[in-house]
Amino acid sequence: MYARKNFGHLLDKTALLGESFVIERAGRPMAALVAVDRFHEIQNAGSEVEAALENLIKKIKGPKSKKLEKAILEIKEAVSKLQL
């Protein structure tokens, strides 16, 4: 109820001061209010991790690298699911 009644204040604190807030319903986290710059940082981080993993796969090519390559691909898949 606090967020509903004070949304403008929370929005100002987020946009102007860079604060972040978790919005809950019945004590359960439902959403987060974050500054737009921080939101874009989070989005870009996933892309950067995927690119780094792809480069790593290219560097480890060889007959003994299959297990490592499989593990990297699994991590890459998990990261892509986390992206917004």
Residues 6+ away with beta carbon under 8 Å from 11: 33
Q: Can you give the pLDDT at residue 83?
A: 60
> Whose CA is closest to 36, among 18, 22, 23?
18
pLDDT the model gives residue 51: 81
Residue 60 CB partners (closer than 8 Å, separation 6+): 68, 69, 72
Evaluate if residue 82 carries a pLDDT over 70: no
Q: 56 and 74 in contact (C-beta within 8 Å)?
A: no
Q: pLDDT digit string (tens) for 10-29?
A: 999 999 999 999 999 999 99
Q: pLDDT digit string (tens) for 31-62?
A: 999 999 988 888 887 778 878 887 877 777 76
80 in Cβ contact with 46 (< 8 Å): yes
pLDDT of 63: 66
Both structure tokens of 46: 């996933």
